[in-house]
Amino acid sequence: MQLPTALLNSLEGLPGFDRGAFIQRHLEADSMTSLRLNPDKHPSLPFSLRKVPWALQGFYVDPRPSFTFDPFFHAGCYYVQEASSMLLEQAFIQHMSSQQPICALDLCAAPGGKTTHLYSLLPKGSVLVANEVIKSRVNLLRDNCIKWGTTSVVVTQNDPHHFQELAGVFDWITLDAPCSGSGLFRKDPLAISSWSESHVIHCAQRQQRIVAAAWQALKPGGILFYSTCSYSLEENENIVSWAKNQLGASVLPVQLDSTWGIQESEVGYRCWPHQMRGEGFYFCCLQKSATSSPTYFSIRADKFLPVSQKENQRLKGWIDLADQHLFEAGGQLHAWPVSQWELLTLFKQKLYISYAGLRIGQWMKEKFIPDHALALSNQLAATTSSFQLEKEQAINYLQRKEITVSNVSRGWNLVTYNGFGLGWANVLQGRINNYYPKEFRILKDKE
Ligand code: SAM
């Protein structure tokens, strides 16, 4: 692995940088796989796990197992995520300690690592907008949210500048910026060939534009978590200094245990892989002044009408609809928390929504067809019929193959593995129709 000399030279003098140790670490082939457990679906995993000290649900897993052939992975029981990225948790718990519901935004969200993490940290009753500007990546973000079982996330596909229209709305913004990616060279050596000084400059200009847009959307007193997986000063400390000077941002400290090996920088914190157990990462917590002028928004007539009470009654056997409004979008019924109805209405007016709340299914004549997202959520009524599969049968189900089970009730059944929902099956006379979504099926035949 030949690291760019221009990059190495540019890092000289940065706190924690040690050229020899840095190069040596890039020559070592250990992959350091880590994952984050879903606190709503706590399984006992069949892997050897070792704690990531800065994230309650974070674990290193060694050796790396085959996630594709693990039904727990498909049930959304964990998310495979790089350990340094999990430092978001320290920033959040140290600066958002109130248990009041908040309105949060993940501005550059696909594939959804920080979205699912933030969702699990939010106080009950909060709302999270997960945005991804690149169309081809939005579906992956939505699917990862569905797998995680989210019920109060709005997935949107907007350019960051659209969020200026939501001025002063968000208490917390995660801005994991698109960057030159040098922090991931150990994992992806091929990315080295596309690194250049001019790309760093291009990324820095884009990052400035994204921070400026996010800043508008932040409430007075709100917090912006800025991060990149680049080592370059231009994309990290320089962006933060610019935000301090031009936007009046204050930098908030994050307390980090010295044994974790994370380097405090002039502003923000750096993860150097030769100092800690994680890949290259930079983050900084910025606060907007509480005295900045609040921005008011008006809500126009509601085009997103809730479904009638009668409809709620018909769904009783499927979902617990206490404190939820039902609405229809794309021919499918969705549930959304009543207390956050106005916010959803506002987002509907200003953003391109790809998914919101929990998609629960649709009526076809008098029959209800449940949606996959309902199977993966914790909102499903306890009375719903279900049957359990052993690992081999569960893999067959996830491959969309035929499954055979005896003594199951007719009609729609939740298919489970160790008690965790995988999807739906419709049990008919003499056969079982496998409703695992085609687009999620395991394509490989063998481990
Ligand atoms: N936060 C994600 C996670 O933890 O899974 C990773 C985000 S990745 C570092 C940056 C994201 O920014 C990518 O999904 C990329 O598509 C998106 N992006 C690319 N260009 C952008 C732009 N001009 N404005 C906003 N986001 C952009």
Paired tokens of 306: 């809730």
Beta bridge partners of 226: 175, 284
Q: pLDDT, tens digit, for every residue of 363-409?
A: 998 899 999 999 999 999 988 999 999 999 999 999 999 999 988 99
Atom of ligand 1 nearest to the CA of 110: 14
Q: How many degrees, rounded to 5, is the angle at CA 19 between CA 15 and CA 25? A: 105
Q: pLDDT, tens digit, for every residue of 331-367?
A: 889 999 989 999 999 999 999 999 999 999 999 988 9
Examine the residue annotation and report whether 77 is marked as an active-site residue of this protein: no
Q: How far is residue 142's CA from residue 140's CA, in Å, rounded to a whole number?
A: 5
Ligand 1: residue whose CA is nearest its atom 19: 178
Q: Are 269 and 318 in contact (CB under 8 A)?
A: no
Q: pLDDT, tens digit, for every residue of 188-219?
A: 988 999 999 999 999 999 999 999 999 999 99
Query: Ligand 1 mean position to 109 CA, how many Å?
Result: 6
pLDDT of residue 302: 43
pLDDT of residue 289: 92
Paired tokens of 154: 């709005």
Phi, psi torsion values for 6, nearest 5 degrees:
-60, -35
pLDDT of residue 301: 35
Report whether pLDDT(296) > 70.
no
Q: How far is residue 112's CA from residue 92's CA, in Å, rounded to a whole number?
A: 17
Q: Are 66 and 447 in contact (CB under 8 A)?
A: yes
pLDDT of residue 300: 38
Paired tokens of 168: 């002063």
More confident residue, 245 or 312: 245
Paired tokens of 246: 């031009």
Q: pLDDT, tens digit, for every residue of 83-127?
A: 999 999 999 999 997 889 999 999 999 999 999 999 999 999 999
Per-residue pLDDT band for 297 (boundaries 50, 70, 90) equals very low
Which of 229, 271, 284, 285 does the annotation list as catalytic?
Answer: 229
Per-residue pLDDT band for 310 (boundaries 50, 70, 90) equals confident
Atom of ligand 1 nearest to the CA of 227: 9
Mean pLDDT for the chain overall: 93
Please give the share of the chain, as a percent, with pLDDT higher than 90. 81
CB atoms within 10 A of CB 258: 7
Residues 6+ positions from 253 with CB-CB distance below 8 Å: 285
Paired tokens of 143: 């699917």
- Structural domains for the chain: 5-287 (3.40.50.150), 298-383 (3.10.450.720), 385-447 (3.10.450.720)
Atom of ligand 1 nearest to the CA of 206: 23
Ligand 1 environment, Cβ below 6 A:
85, 108-114, 132-134, 137, 160, 176, 178, 206, 210
pLDDT of residue 292: 63
Per-residue pLDDT band for 305 (boundaries 50, 70, 90) equals low
pLDDT of residue 428: 94
Paired tokens of 197: 């000084």
Query: Ligand 1 mean position to 218 CA, how many Å?
Result: 19
Task: Identify residue 302 by its one-letter amino acid code.
Answer: D
The model carries a pTM of 0.93
DSSP state of 202: H
* CA dihedral angle for residue 138, residue 140, residue 143, residue 147, rounded to 10 degrees: -130
pLDDT of residue 316: 83
Per-residue pLDDT band for 306 (boundaries 50, 70, 90) equals low
Beta bridge partners of 359: 334
Q: Are 125 and 337 in contact (CB under 8 A)?
A: yes
Q: How far is residue 306's CA from residue 312's CA, in Å, rounded to a whole number?
A: 10
> How many CA atoms, within 13 angstroms, populate the side-chain half-sphere of residue 427?
16
Atom of ligand 1 nearest to the CA of 114: 4
Burial (Cβ within 10 Å: 0-12, 13-18, ≥19) of residue 323: exposed
pLDDT of residue 320: 82
Query: Ligand 1 mean position to 420 CA, how many Å?
Result: 31
Report whether pLDDT(299) > 60.
no
Q: How far is residue 221's CA from residue 291's CA, in Å, rounded to a whole number?
A: 8
Mutation to probe ligand 1, out of 80, 84, 108 (largest number of atoms < 8 A from CB): 108
Q: pLDDT, tens digit, for every residue of 40-95?
A: 998 888 889 999 999 999 999 999 999 999 999 999 999 999 999 999 999 999 99
Q: Are 213 and 169 in contact (CB under 8 A)?
A: no
Burial (Cβ within 10 Å: 0-12, 13-18, ≥19) of residue 140: middle
Q: What's the sign of the alpha-carbon dihedral 133, 35, 222, 211?
A: negative
Per-residue pLDDT band for 288 (boundaries 50, 70, 90) equals very high
Nearest residue to 92 via CA among 160, 30, 174, 187? 174
Mutation to probe ligand 1, out of 134, 162, 229 (largest number of atoms < 8 A from CB): 134
- Name the 3-class secondary structure at 283: strand
